Amino acid sequence: MINDNNSTTKLESDQIKGLRNDIESPCNEKKIPLWLVLLDNIPTLILFVLGAILVYQVSTIGAVIFVVYSLFSFVFFWARICPFCHHYNTLACPCGYGAISAKLFKKRQDKSFKKVFKQNIEVVFPNWFVPFAIAIYLLTTRYTNQILILTIAFSLIGFIIIPLISRLVGCKNCEIKEDCPWMKVNIQNKDQSIHSGEAI
Ligand code: SF4
C-alpha cells in the first residue's frame, strides 16, 4: 500500500511538473530558422554516412545493420523522448524533431522530460561508439591513409563539431536547457568555475 501511494504521488508530481513546464514555456511562439535546423541535422547525417563506411570496412551486413539501427534510434528518440518535451509539436525544436514526433506519436505527460531523457538517451550512443571502436580496430590491424582520414573526419564531426553546435548554437538559447541533462552538466560546470574563480 505504501509503495502504491508513493508511486501515485510521484506520478502526480511528474504530471504537475509537465503541466507547469507547458504553461510557463513560451516555445509555441518561437520558430527556429531553417538554417539552424540544417546546421543541427547535416553533421549528424554526415556522421552516420561516415560511420556506415567505417563499419563497411569490416562487414557489409554490419554496415546495413548499422544504417538500420541509426534510423531506428531516430524513430525511438521521436517516440520515447520528444513527446515529453516542451518543443513537441512546435517549431521551437532546434533540430525539427518536435514537429516530426507530433506527426507520428502522441504527446505524453505521465513522466518528467528530464527522467525520460536520462532513461532513453543511450539509444543513440552506439551510433558514435560502434564506428569509433571499429576505426580503432582498423587502425591497429590494417592501417591505411584512407582509414586514418575516415577516422579523423568521423571523430571531428562526432566528438567536436556536433557537441559544439549543440552547446554554442542549437541548445544555447533553449528555454528548457535547465531541464535537459545534457545542458545541465554544462551549466553546473560553468557555475562551479565561477564559484572557484576560474576564467571561462
Ligand atoms: S528539443 Fe530535443 S527532445 Fe525536444 S522535441 Fe526537439 S529533439 Fe525532441
83-120 pLDDT, tens digit per residue, is 999 889 998 888 899 999 999 999 999 999 889 998 99
Measured CA to CA, the distance from residue 15 to residue 64 in angstroms comes to: 40
Measured CA to CA, the distance from residue 51 to residue 64 in angstroms comes to: 11
Predicted local confidence at residue 175, as pLDDT: 62
Predicted local confidence at residue 168, as pLDDT: 83
Predicted local confidence at residue 14, as pLDDT: 53
Q: Atom 8 of ligand 1 has which residue's CA nearest to it? A: 82
Q: What band does 58 get if pLDDT is binned at 50, 70 and 90?
A: very high
Among all chains, which residue has been given the C-alpha cell 551486413? 61
162 CA to centre of ligand 1 in angstroms? 15
Is the pLDDT at 193 greater than 90, yes or no? no
Q: What percent of the chain has pLDDT over 70?
A: 70
135 CA to centre of ligand 1 in angstroms? 30
SS3 85: coil
Percent of the chain as helix, strand, coil, to the nearest 5: 75, 0, 25
Q: Which of 53-57, 59-63, 86-90, 191-195 has the lowest mean pLDDT?
A: 191-195
27-43 pLDDT, tens digit per residue, is 555 688 889 899 989 99
Average pLDDT, the chain: 82
Residue of higher predicted confidence among 123 and 166: 123
Residues 196-200 have a mean pLDDT of 41
Measured CA to CA, the distance from residue 170 to residue 173 in angstroms comes to: 7
Determine the residue type at 154.
Answer: F
Measured CA to CA, the distance from residue 190 to residue 192 in angstroms comes to: 5
Instruction: Return the CA Rg of the chain.
Output: 20
Nearest to 77 by CA among 61, 63, 88: 88
Q: What band does 146 get if pLDDT is binned at 50, 70 and 90?
A: very high
DSSP codes, 111-153:
S-HHHHHHHHGGGGHHHHHHHHHHHHHHHHHS--HHHHHHHHH
N residues, the chain: 200
* Residues 57/134, Cβ–Cβ less than 8 Å: yes
Predicted local confidence at residue 92, as pLDDT: 87
**Which region, left, alpha or beta, applies to residue 27 given φ > 0 means left and ψ of -120 to 50 means alpha?**
alpha
* Residues 166/36, Cβ–Cβ less than 8 Å: no
Measured CA to CA, the distance from residue 131 to residue 55 in angstroms comes to: 6
Residues 47-73 have a mean pLDDT of 98
> Taking CB atoms and a 6 Å cutoff, what residues make up the pocket around ligand 1?
81-82, 85, 87-88, 93, 95, 97-98
Predicted local confidence at residue 184, as pLDDT: 55
- Pocket test of ligand 1: the residue of 87, 90, 117, 174 to mutate, having most ligand atoms within 8 Å of its CB, is 87
Is the pLDDT at 81 greater than 50, yes or no? yes
